[in-house]
Amino acid sequence: MKIKGLLDEQPQPQPQEQPRVNAQIIQPWSNLILKVKIPDPLFEQLQKLYDYTMKDWTSFGGQLVGAVVEEPEVTEEIRNKFPEWTEWCLEGVRQFTTIQTQQNLAADLDKFEDFQKEELMTKITTMWFVNQKPHEYNPVHIHTNCKVSSVCYLKAPEKQVRDRKSHYQSDGKITFVNNSGSDTNFSNIQCSFKPEAGDMYIFGAIQHHMVWPYRSTDPDDSRISLSFNADIITRSALNKQGDMQQKMYEDMKKHKESEMKDDKSVTDGDINKSG
């Protein structure tokens, strides 16, 4: 007797609808990458910001690690001429910080509720464009002297040559690298995205990332992006820092006065007078 025939003769259990699992995602040990689609009106502002900056630009490349020739700086003076775009960037920083903090405090909701009552103080510290050409690249790096960073794309290459390897396509992509998840079965140390105009990525400043080079049939087939760094702090933390700095100043002042008082080399008499 064939086993297949025997099984066919037996009544088969009917599939039952599985109840939907009501689950909460908790991942306080991981870093977020916030991907945002820039609304059309703000994308137009971004393009105008680029055109204005390129009229008479100075290079920001001396402070960057990329093997890229054209990296025009967007100074604070220029940013002030485009307040809508600047505010959009700052709002993105606030959104990223709120979402990341919610994940970090997933097991301590009271602290997160206190955080939500806080006023978030944000400031863009640096901003620059990257006019990347074929064969140029950015090595793995982080951003310093800030807390949050971002990159957004204005233009993708139009005549890019396809990758040589079909099973691993990385040319021209931005790759984020992290090993905070130690479980190799359920974590990935990197993720890569193909840059597209209108895409914006916001991430922690010390999140390692890189940009791969690409090839094109046109040597001037550029990929244009804008990056910025920002600082963020709560109002109460800022006030606390001010109080600590004031106390440090007062302690140093008292210490200096005490040293001068105890210094035996300081006398009131004539140094030439003998005893």
- Residue 272 pLDDT class (50, 70, 90 cuts): very low
Q: Using alpha carbons, list the distances in angstroms from residue 118 to 98, 235, 238.
A: 11, 7, 11
Per-residue pLDDT tens digits for 155-169 = 999 999 998 888 888
The pair of structure tokens assigned to 244 is 């600590």
Amino acid at 6: L
Identify the structural domains of the chain with CATH numbers, from first to last: 33-236 (2.60.120.620)
The pair of structure tokens assigned to 194 is 């193909």
Please tell me the predicted confidence (pLDDT) of residue 9. 53
The whole-angstrom separation of Cα 32 and Cα 63 is 26
Residue 11 pLDDT greater than 70, yes or no? no
Q: Which residue has the higher pLDDT, 265 or 20?
A: 20
Q: What residues are paired with 209 via a beta bridge?
A: 141, 176
Please tell me the predicted confidence (pLDDT) of residue 20. 72
Please tell me the predicted confidence (pLDDT) of residue 1. 41
Provide the whole-model pTM.
0.82
Beta carbons within 8 Å of 218's beta carbon, 6+ residues apart: 134, 158, 159
Hunting for tokens 């600590």 — which residue is that?
244
Q: Using alpha carbons, list the distances in angstroms from residue 10 to 6, 13, 17, 49, 67.
A: 7, 9, 22, 72, 69
Residue 8 pLDDT greater than 70, yes or no? no
Q: Would you call 166 exposed, middle or buried from its count of C-beta atoms within 10 A (0-12, 13-18, 19+)? A: exposed
The backbone torsions φ and ψ at residue 124, rounded to the nearest 5 degrees and listed phi first, read: -80, 125
Specify the range with the lowest mean pLDDT, choosing from 10-24, 88-102, 108-122, 233-247: 10-24
- Residue 247 pLDDT class (50, 70, 90 cuts): confident
Q: How many other C-beta atoms lie within 10 A of the C-beta of residue 264?
A: 5
Per-residue pLDDT tens digits for 41-66 = 999 999 999 999 999 999 999 999 99
- Residue 7 pLDDT class (50, 70, 90 cuts): very low
The pair of structure tokens assigned to 152 is 């957004």
Beta carbons within 8 Å of 226's beta carbon, 6+ residues apart: 46, 49, 50, 74, 127, 128, 129, 130, 151, 152, 154
Please tell me the predicted confidence (pLDDT) of residue 223. 96
User: What mean pLDDT comes out for the span 218-237?
Assistant: 96
